[in-house]
Amino acid sequence: MNWITDKLKSLTPHITKEYEKRFPIIFLKDVYIFVGLGGSNAYTYRSMDPHIAFCVEKFEPYEEGLNVIIAHEFGHTAHHLYTTHNGIDAKDIQWYNPFTWLLQEGVATFLSTLVVNVDQDIYFAYKRDPEWLSFCEKNIATIINAFQKDLIQSTSAEIFKEWFSINGGQTFGYSRIGYYIAYLLVKRLAGEKGIENAMLYWGHSDFEERMKTLLHTI
């Protein structure tokens, strides 16, 4: 765990500098490193005043994976700071809407691909897991169809657990598949409108309808 802690400290400055070069933001908040207190491996909290926590015991001693998880969490922070920079108020965002989670996780994953260069499966698993990625790539139409059905018949809490939590994955036997859907959505948006506009997509008054339409295109 000492090795992981030291790596988190040494790898973070390069990633934060990369984000600060790309966007008109500055990271000013502390980063917290916990042992024994975290239910997740890492998380960003306090919405538009974002803080980041890393939970050391949840990580494997794998430098490429640590690089990606750092880039992912600072991607969330960059997204939120950039949103504030462009005048979007936190109270206007539907924080418990599954489409908001898709945008958040898609942006963080997409941004991590810009600042860290690793094999693609690591951007989702934070370790090598080509089987997970291969399943998603080969079954994307079935996955999207199942997600759309859950949007109709499941609660937000049920959707979060099944599609975004490490404790989910009952439908296909793989957890966190929502991250792959999210990445494809934001990749499409970034290709069409640029990543800056994709990051601000939740500022549209018809955000949910736009995301529903976008979901049909991947």
In this predicted model, which residue has the larger pLDDT, 218 or 173? 173
pLDDT tens for each residue of 125-169: 999 999 999 999 999 999 999 999 999 999 999 999 999 999 999
pLDDT tens for each residue of 20-56: 999 999 998 778 776 665 556 676 765 677 778 888 7
Q: Output the pLDDT for position 35.
A: 67
Q: Output the pLDDT for position 154.
A: 98
Q: Which residue has the tokens 């494809």?
A: 184
Q: How many CA atoms lie within 13 A of 174 on its CB side?
A: 18
Question: Do 74 and 15 contact (CB within 8 A), yes or no?
Answer: yes
Q: Output the pLDDT for position 30.
A: 72
pTM here is 0.93
- Total residues found in the chain within this entry: 218
Give the whole-angstrom CA distance, residue 40 versus residue 38: 5
